[in-house]
Amino acid sequence: MAALNEEDIILKNKIADRIKFLRVNTGLSQSEFAKKFEIDRQILNRWESKNNKRGLTIYTISKFCDFVGISLKDFFDFDL
């Protein structure tokens, strides 16, 4: 797979910021959130990381949306 271009990196970082923002709004730490939703804390950390070179799939974002009780539309219909 080719390296991410500048636009891709900006989008990837906005997604990471959005995930962190929504997780923080739950009032839970990464560890608490991971425990509550039975996911590995390191995975959650990767989702929130701007250094993650892999990015996230739409399926992962959808799963996260289910955890916080919002739709994919709500996830992406937000300006950071």
Taking 90 as the threshold, does the pLDDT of residue 3 lie above it? Answer: no
Question: What is the per-residue pLDDT across 65-74, written as a single tens digit (0 to 9) for each?
Answer: 999 999 999 9
pLDDT of residue 55: 79
Domain boundaries of the chain, sorted by first residue: 6-76
Task: Supply the DSSP string of the chain, one letter for each residue.
Answer: -PPP-HHHHHHHHHHHHHHHHHHHHTT--HHHHHHHTT--HHHHHHHH-TT-SS---HHHHHHHHHHHT--HHHHHS---
Question: What is the per-residue pLDDT across 16-48, written as a single tens digit (0 to 9) for each?
Answer: 999 999 999 999 999 999 999 999 999 999 999
pLDDT of residue 52: 80
* Structure confidence at residue 1 as a pLDDT band (50, 70, 90): low
Which of 15, 2, 20, 22 shows the shortest CA–CA distance to 57?
Answer: 15
CATH dotted code for 6-76: 1.10.260.40
